[in-house]
């Protein structure tokens, strides 16, 4: 890892690193917030997966997680949303290619060479974090929009690796949404049976989640029809899955929404990780 930047924040340290990724075949960048408690010993980890068009930087600077992480003694990891760089395939559309990795392992050309964000999060970056930072091997995961989709699907498929789970306005049923069908067909092919492992609602129906689940959704979100929170809420009720889907009056899809409820989510994870 190469340290790119470091800034003092709420008694802790906000750091940015870059490293060569064998999984994605390019250089990757991620941010890590270490709370002041990390100076005295390893702390639990909260992963935050960002949404479409974002890099590691958006939530790091706009999400407001550092203050709450410092109070609760959690490290926060902000990965990038896709491979990047010269030679990495891209698309002119904002919702495919660089900035839109969808946290899957692509199996189709031209994406399959670099777009392996599922393995990157679950295996490579996780190992880098545990081996190089003062953290416990105890992890929670959350995310926003495409990142909320990533958080729920990754956690359910890897319940032994994650101990707490939440999401902000996740793409909850991508196999039935234009935010999902386009990307899953491009990355995985047209056989929809290969898409189910990347649909939060379908995974919850098949496997459930070992703990309780917190989801916040803005009731004034301009993308509600694409996110389909009602599918996830209905599945939670049908499966009797412990948790909450909270519709927050007046809130949209922006980082103002994420920032407003970051404290709740950090406290939620801290209670389950400590």
Cβ-count burial 179-205 (b if 16+ within 10 Å, e if not): bbebbbebbbeeeeeebebbbbbbbbb
What are the CB-based long-range contacts (under 8 Å, 24+) for 245-248? 245/215, 245/217, 246/214, 246/215, 246/216, 246/217, 247/217, 247/218, 247/219, 248/216, 248/217, 248/218, 248/219
Q: Are 232 and 245 in contact (CB under 8 A)?
A: yes
Strands 135-143 and 43-49: parallel
Span 145-160, pLDDT tens digits: 999 999 999 999 999 9
Q: 47 pLDDT band (50/70/90 cuts)?
A: very high
Mean pLDDT over each residue of the chain, to the nearest integer: 98
Report how far residue 72's alpha carbon sits from residue 21's, in angstroms, rounded to the nearest whole number: 31
Closest CA to 104 of 197, 209, 222: 197
Percent of the chain whose pLDDT exceeds 90: 100
The band of 82, judged by pLDDT with boundaries at 50, 70 and 90, is: very high
| Dist. CA 253–CA 126, nearest whole Å | 28
Determine whether 90 is exposed, middle or buried from the number of CB atoms within 10 Å of its CB (0-12, 13-18, 19+): middle
The arithmetic mean of pLDDT across residues 71-88, rounded, is 97
pLDDT band for position 4 (cuts 50, 70, 90): very high
The pLDDT value recorded for residue 222 is: 98
- The set of catalytic residues is 145, 221, 253
Confidence of residue 64 (pLDDT cuts 50, 70, 90): very high
Q: How many residues does the chain have?
A: 274
pLDDT bin (cut points 50, 70, 90) of residue 211 is: very high
How would residue 213 be classed by pLDDT, with cut points 50, 70 and 90? very high
Which token pair is 251?
């809130």
Quick one: what percent of the chain has pLDDT higher than 70? Answer: 100
pLDDT in the model for residue 166: 98
Give residue 230's region: left, alpha or beta (phi > 0; psi -120 to 50): alpha
* Predicted local confidence at residue 243, as pLDDT: 97
Inter-residue contact 169 to 143 (CB < 8 Å): no
Do 143 and 40 form a contact (C-beta atoms < 8 A)?
Answer: no
The answer to whether the CB of 241 falls within 8 A of the CB of 209 is: yes
Instruction: Give the pLDDT band of residue 90 (cuts 50, 70, 90).
Output: very high
Crossing angle of the two packed helices 200-207 and 229-239, in degrees rounded to 10: 0
Burial of residue 44 (number of CB atoms within 10 Å: 0-12, 13-18, 19+) = buried
Asked if residues 39 and 72 have their Cβ atoms less than 8 Å apart, the reply is no
Give the pTM: 0.97
Domain hosting residue 22, numbered range = 2-271
Find the helix or strand (DSSP H, E) in which 266 lies: helix 255-273
Q: Is residue 33 helix, strand or coil?
A: strand
pLDDT at residue number 98? 98
Indicate the number of domains in the chain: 1
Quote the pLDDT of residue 119: 98
CATH number at residue 70: 3.40.50.1820
Per-residue pLDDT, 161: 98
d(CA 258, CA 252): 9
Tens of pLDDT, residue by residue over 187-208, are 999 999 999 999 999 999 999 9
Please state the rounded mean pLDDT for residues 10-31: 98
- Across residues 75-82, what is the average pLDDT? 98
Q: Report the alpha-carbon distance of residue 227 to residue 233 in Å, rounded.
A: 12
């Amino acid at each position: 890892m190469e340290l790119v930047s470091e800034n003092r924040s709420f008694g802790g340290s906000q750091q940015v690193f870059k490293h060569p990724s064998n999984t994605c075949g390019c250089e990757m960048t991620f941010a890590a917030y270490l709370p002041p408690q990390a100076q005295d010993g390893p702390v639990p980890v909260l992963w935050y997966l960002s949404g479409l068009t974002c890099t590691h930087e958006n939530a790091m600077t706009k999400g407001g997680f550092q203050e709450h992480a410092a109070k609760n003694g959690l490290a926060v990891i902000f990965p990038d949303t896709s491979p990047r760089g010269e030679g990495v395939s891209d698309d002119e559309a904002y919702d495919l290619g660089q900035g839109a990795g969808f946290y899957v392992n692509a199996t189709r050309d031209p994406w399959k060479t670099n777009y392996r964000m599922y393995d990157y999060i679950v295996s490579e970056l996780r190992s880098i974090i545990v081996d190089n930072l003062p953290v416990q091997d105890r992890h929670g995961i959350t995310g926003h929009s495409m990142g909320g989709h990533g958080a729920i699907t990754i956690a359910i498929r890897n319940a032994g690796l994650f101990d707490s789970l939440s999401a902000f306005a996740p793409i909850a049923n991508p196999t039935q949404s234009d935010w999902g069908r386009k990307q899953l067909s491009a990355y995985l092919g047209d056989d929809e049976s290969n898409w189910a492992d990347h649909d939060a609602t379908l995974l919850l129906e098949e496997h459930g989640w070992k703990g309780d689940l917190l989801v916040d959704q803005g009731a004034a979100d301009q993308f509600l029809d694409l996110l389909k929170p009602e599918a996830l809420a209905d599945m939670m009720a049908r499966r009797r899955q412990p948790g909450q889907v909270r519709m927050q009056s007046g809130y949209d899809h922006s980082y103002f929404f994420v920032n407003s409820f970051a404290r709740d989510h950090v406290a939620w994870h801290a209670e389950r990780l400590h």
